[in-house]
Amino acid sequence: MVVGKTGNAAVENVSLRLTYNGQNYPIFYVADPANLDSAFTLIHSNVGYPLRFAASETLKTVYFFGDGLDAPGRLLRDHRHGGL
């Protein structure tokens, strides 16, 4: 998911929660270079690496994971083949 902010101020500890099929997902991972290891794997969830925006930043990518979430590729394939 891509998250954006407006304005010129820096923002710290932004809270997000995804609700999908009635289930809440409050834990997410921020795709920042500082939150990736040498294999480009996400390291810390928002508990250890909170979402923040510098004054000059307007967009960030975050990832939610959970057993109840569908993979985006599956949704796209289903849609192209008459599903969803």
Residue 84 confidence (pLDDT): 42
Find the Cα–Cα–Cα–Cα dihedral 61, 49, 73, 68, rounded to 10°: -130
% residues pLDDT > 70 (the chain)? 83
Tokens of 72: 């985006």
Contact call for residues 67 and 8 (beta carbons, < 8 A): no
Q: For the whole model, what pTM was predicted?
A: 0.78
| pLDDT bracket for residue 66 (50, 70, 90) | confident
Tokens of 18: 């995804």
| pLDDT bracket for residue 4 (50, 70, 90) | very high
